[in-house]
Structure 1
């Protein structure tokens, strides 16, 4: 039997599974070990040269109808049409932003999925299974089979800002299909989620620790320019030693990532070659041309700075065109189509920051863009996901702490306090036989509140005084409750708490048409009624069970623990819209 590693340790694996390319990083953590940069998987099977050692792998999958074989990533033959952009199929079509609903990428993916008679969960699960098996084999090859088998796994998946709760649950089902939770001697594999822009920030912000030009109150913007979407998030510095930040304003995003730059360049080539000549080439020819080391993917796309006047592109022989010369101005226009959208996205974020903090971000009226060279920016989200998982599981101390986040929704649960005519609606008044008094049903205690952007506080002290506006990540909040029973009752009793969410900037104190069911927590009292304490309520003796709700945000989830004097009663994790 393989013995598990001693003490509180884990192999934390961060997965940045997005529409264009997927990145994976990992690191072995022992309890309280200092945080260090995770290892990034950079070895992939590839049918094309120059791809097997890249930081990310394409989020593409292909099913061979004749052999039943499944190919994925770089290993898909160039002469077939793979399924891509299928991650977003986990969302219902009506829940996609308007610009995504009309996307030809998503429409094509949905058509191919339906043609195969598959569901989005099955499709994502198959891709994650192939990815997971490959990643574990890579880690075993680098660290040894014995260590991997003897260490429990903790996985963190990054999720887009636009996702709803049910899509997160579908992703969890896909992870289960992929074998993430397969029984292991080392212990149960756990899974958390982190929002993509926050993961990028977690990986990026520690580099600010050595800067000497930061002051408390400075704000800055972190942009994740991905393959499909560009996400943006902003922070304000609350403390310098250590660096503690809080989110300034709601994050944002747009569909203007690198995939659309690729499409624009391909359209430019088609125009220059001519539609008729272009049709003589098959998809394999076009893919090889786009992937050529000296042409687009590994050449112009990475190195373009406008200094070279002319670029010569070798066109496949089938087109009978030989070579095409493209001017720098034309290539600049290829990038401009996406850059103009990114600029509008950034400008809106800057305007929101000025409205919130009453001053522009760091460097005042001068815009300064900071970006590391090499592959590091490309792997930021998967590395941030790994670090987020280690911090969330208390395996390491964060180099940089996210003090508070801005929530897009309000979250709370139902309560039934004593009826107060000055506070409660008479429609909610109900008689309770146990305490022989009027209670108010249908009441909601909002533990996270969404407020208007203009009301976002400008200081950390104000943040801490606004219940719910800050989603604190430092210490859990505790809410104390009592459940009364008649002294004649006996045995363990079942309890139920409904969780609600609300999109309104001013959520109501009672359930109405603006509140929506999120989930239901079911749990039992920690001891039989006859062994509970006795107290007097309204001159009547009742048995009382005292319990607490402890809430804390970890990544993109709201962790809820129900505790009593006997220990933990139940726990649950809810997704929180914090971008």
Structure 2
């Protein structure tokens, strides 16, 4: 299983090793918006709690650079070095020094509180852990579902992407899955691994197309599991049992003609042939096909 933890999204795919350096897919790919930038959002929520929503909104609107500098300070001093091993780990952030423009927008009880604390925000271990756990718990659940959907035992999990470098993320995944997955590892350059993989795939794609005329396709991705059901829109005769509100003039109805079903494993570059289609009218000279896709496996209507 490859777990690509980026800034915005986390994407999972489970592959099987085939012959001739090719990979097949075991189950549907999965993804969600739970990358490392959502930990930054947790920090901004903490900031709003300390100084008020309006103050942070005005800082974002009028001094966006200073807000970004606050986030950068959080990343460098909290998010990146946090391992989850040291309960004494904490960080004090001086708002007056890092984002002086913010002070003018803080009012009421929040201002009184921050003046008492001399505009210092202390981010303690438990707060940092809470920020991480909100996001990491979602990643762990994604991995668990992916493992449950896979056939057979998963031999390895590879953490890649920028967020994959987080020692705390690595620790949590080890704790959750070390008993069921023998090898959990991170490449030396987890960000570069994604770029290298894309380059290898692109080269193999070009090479396989060049060799197609010789019937010797060698794309590194041999098969994929479809995430959607694909089909086309067809006009058919309305029959008893069809929804009355879908009845068109001339006794016709628009239906979904399924070409290939979700969760089907398909070889690279496979073509699907649709047969026995006819024009609606005898004098019709052209046919237009609209392609639809859906998560449903038994869709009937477009």
Question: Does TM, scored on the shorter chain, surpass 0.5?
Answer: yes
Matches within 5 A, 1:118-517: 221-237=1-17, 239=18, 241-271=19-49, 273-275=50-52, 282-283=59-60, 284=63, 285-291=66-72, 295-308=73-86, 309=88, 310-317=90-97, 318=100, 319=103, 321-353=118-150, 357=151, 359-362=152-155, 365-366=180-181, 368-373=183-188, 376-378=189-191, 381=194, 383-394=196-207, 401-412=220-231, 447-450=259-262, 469-473=264-268, 476-477=270-271, 479=273, 496=287, 498=289, 500-501=291-292, 503=294, 504-506=296-298, 514-516=300-302
Conservation of the 8 A alpha-carbon contact between 2:92 and 2:123: yes
Distance in 1 (CA, whole Å) between partners of 2:44 and 2:255 is 57
Paired residues in the alignment total 229
1:98-149 CA-to-partner distances (Å, cap 9, x unmatched) read xxxxxxxxxxxxxxxxxxxxxxxxxxxxxxxxxxxxxxxxxxxxxxxxxxxx
Conservation of the 8 A alpha-carbon contact between 1:390 and 1:396: no
Q: TM-score, normalised by structure 2?
A: 0.59
Q: What is the match of residue 63 of structure 1?
A: none
Conservation of the 8 A alpha-carbon contact between 1:256 and 1:341: yes
Any idea what SS the aligned residue of 1:232 has? strand
Gaps of 5+ in 2: 104-114, 157-178, 212-216, 240-253, 278-283
Q: What is the match of residue 164 of structure 2?
A: none
Distance in 2 (CA, whole Å) between partners of 1:230 and 1:256 is 6
Structure in which a larger fraction of residues adopt strand: 1
Any idea what SS the aligned residue of 2:3 has? strand
Deviation at 1:256, TM superposition (A): 1.8
Q: Which structure ranks higher in relative contact order (CA pairs < 8 Å, sequence separation ≥ 6)?
A: 2
Conservation of the 8 A alpha-carbon contact between 1:281 and 1:316: no
1:307-341 CA-to-partner distances (Å, cap 9, x unmatched) read 45232323224445354332222211111111111
Distance 1:332 1:477, change over 3 A: same
Distance 1:479 1:266, change over 3 A: closer
4+ residue runs over 6 A deviation:
395-400, 442-445, 480-483
Deviation at 1:411, TM superposition (A): 3.1
My pick for the range that moved more, 363-372 or 336-345, is: 363-372
Structure in which a larger fraction of residues adopt helix: 2
Conservation of the 8 A alpha-carbon contact between 1:233 and 1:251: yes
Distance 1:401 1:265, change over 3 A: same
Any idea what SS the aligned residue of 2:80 has? helix
Distance 1:502 1:399, change over 3 A: closer
Gaps of 5+ in 1: 1-220, 416-424, 428-441, 452-468, 484-492, 508-513, 517-579
Q: What is the match of residue 559 of structure 1?
A: none
Distance in 2 (CA, whole Å) between partners of 1:408 and 1:348 is 15
Distance in 2 (CA, whole Å) between partners of 1:279 and 1:412 is 48
Distance in 2 (CA, whole Å) between partners of 1:499 and 1:281 is 47
Any idea what SS the aligned residue of 1:369 has? strand
Deviation at 1:515, TM superposition (A): 4.5
Any idea what SS the aligned residue of 1:505 has? coil
Distance in 1 (CA, whole Å) between partners of 2:120 and 2:272 is 69
1:502-544 CA-to-partner distances (Å, cap 9, x unmatched) read 644257xxxxxx154xxxxxxxxxxxxxxxxxxxxxxxxxxxx
Matches within 5 A, 1:560-571: none
Matches within 5 A, 1:54-65: none
Distance 1:406 1:316, change over 3 A: same
